[in-house]
Amino acid sequence: MMKYVIVSGGVLSGLGKGVTASSIGVLLKSAGLRTTSIKIDPYLNSDAGTMSPFEHGEVFVLDDGGEVDLDLGNYERFLDLNLGKDNNLTTGKIYSKVIEAERRGDYLGKTVQVIPHITDEIQNWIERVAHMPADGMEGAPDACIIELGGTVGDIESAPYIEALRQFQFRVGRENVTFVHVSLVPVMGPVGEQKTKPTQHSVKELRGLGITPDILVCRSTEPMTEETKEKLAAFCHVSPDAVMSTHDVPNIYHVPLMLEEQGLCNILDIDCNGTSMLKEWRAMAYDLDKLTEDVSIAMVGKYTDLSDAYLSVIKSLQHAAMKVRRKLTINWIEASHLESSWKTKNAEDFSTAWGLLKSSDGVLVPGGFGDRGIEGKVVAAQYSRENNVPYLGICLGLQVATIEFCRNVLGISGANSTEFDENVEYPAVIFMPEISKTHLGGTMRLGSRPTIWQVDDCKIKRLYGDGDSVDERHRHRYEVNPDIIEQIESAGLKFVGKDETGQRCEIFELDGHPYYVGVQYHPEFKTRPGKPSPPFLGLLMAASGMDL
């Protein structure tokens, strides 16, 4: 029988349920079990595609084009999986499916209600998706980790709590482990660890019919034995099943922390059944020892919320680990680099340029809308003219192309039709097959092949052997195919194109240490120990290494 680990959260959001769920997956995988994951998001959106990064962090894109919650990125990176859009379950998806069935007459005249119709559909969805392999192998996985978003007590979560309560009897209570992630705050001058928030959260969960088997308690410092005993007494769990997940130098310590506290024994698995945990431990502790610095300027427009660039940050970290450098990210609000900002706030302008000029490399990530665009353009110009390693992702490729047209080809009016529909010289244009009336799921999405157009170049060597690469896309605009020949004649070569040979996917500038742009989003396929090649190239060049 398949085993299910169901992770819920209490007290407040943002406690690290995703990292906890991923870490449990690492322990299951280290025991030789094949795993998969499902993230439940109780919001009414069909998917995360139309959400602002300020609202919900980055939108993570899957191979099949699914636009999903960023926690699925944690699962893919920690467990080396390739999940599908059905691995992200939302209220919008569930209600759409039930209403569609009602319209077809599937319920034979019954009154359609939350119980049993919505709760049954949730259970059916979970059981179906849990048996779909995500590791490239045949056959159903051995275990599925399910994370319930939000916090216990939210009205949006109620149908899912009820569905999961029923689910334990559908698949057998012995095949389900409930893990509840909660907060143990430290209060007062003596730093007393308070258990009351967790007590109330567990009481709420038990009142809804679910008794947690394991408590994972977030805190700044390790929990005392006294605190664990108190939680065990009031929350109806064994003291051994109260886990402390205190602050650590890097998130790769979390699986090790849980293993050291006996989680593998509680789950009745041998976490040393493979060499995975040993390698994981070496990676986590090795990362703490890195001392030689490398700094990357992140020129973006959502810099107030780092989760908006979570996969980009992880890609930089994985690449820095590979080149054995301690990474520093210099966050730069793109609009602060613009000359117009100097009159608004000269101090911000000076600080932004100081950070840019002091960085070893520059990265311009993806984004939407015209705010900060001219700042990104001048960042690309600075990198090109001063031989500073540069990586442009999606919009970062487009602004670098616009900059090249303006300052190398001498076409001062070059721009994207995204920012000026009536632009005199459209260097970047709207893709002809994309809908202009609907936003959700209408971009060029998912894994697509990029065919190499040259025999040799820096970025091709980084990717290794092969005539093509498969990377994930999320964009509506592309470089104007009509101007490619003109741009290439001036030295900016489009070394990778799509299967039609028309769409420009990768550029590289002749004679520059590292000036690369990619139309796709390579950050979505990075893994610890297997960094994304474009990011590895940036970190190598920024560290002074030969490519």
Rounded to whole angstroms, what are the CA distances from 485 to 4, 482, 490, 499?
A: 55, 7, 9, 18
Q: Rounded to an integer, what distance in angstroms lies between the CA atom of residue 336 and that of residue 355? A: 11
- Torsion sign over Cα 443, 449, 452, 453: negative
Q: Rounded to an integer, what distance in angstroms lies between the CA atom of residue 15 and that of residue 33? A: 26
- Torsion sign over Cα 147, 281, 263, 226: negative
Active-site annotation holds for 475: no
DSSP state of 527: B
Amino acid identity of residue 261, one-letter, is: Q
- Catalytic pick among 403, 505, 508, 523: 523
Per-residue tokens: 391: 């990586």
Active-site annotation holds for 521: yes
Buried-exposed string 113-140: b where 16+ CB fall within 10 A, e elsewhere: eeeebbbebbbebbeebbeeebeeeeee
Buried-exposed string 94-107: b where 16+ CB fall within 10 A, e elsewhere: bbeebeeeeeeeee
Buried-exposed string 258-294: b where 16+ CB fall within 10 A, e elsewhere: bbebebbebbebebeeeebbeebeeebeebeeeeeeb
Q: Rounded to an integer, what distance in angstroms lies between the CA atom of residue 518 and that of residue 521? A: 7
Helix, strand, or coil (residue 322)? helix
- Catalytic pick among 235, 394, 457, 504: 394
Active-site annotation holds for 318: no
Instruction: Compute CA 304 distance to the chain's CA centroid, rounded to the nearest angstrom.
Output: 17
Residue ranges with strand state E in 290-443? 293-300, 326-333, 361-364, 390-393, 414-416, 425-430
Per-residue tokens: 370: 């015209």
DSSP string, 107-126: TTTPPP-IIIIIHHHHHHHH
Q: Rounded to an integer, what distance in angstroms lies between the CA atom of residue 239 and that of residue 354? A: 52
- Catalytically active residues are 394, 521, 523
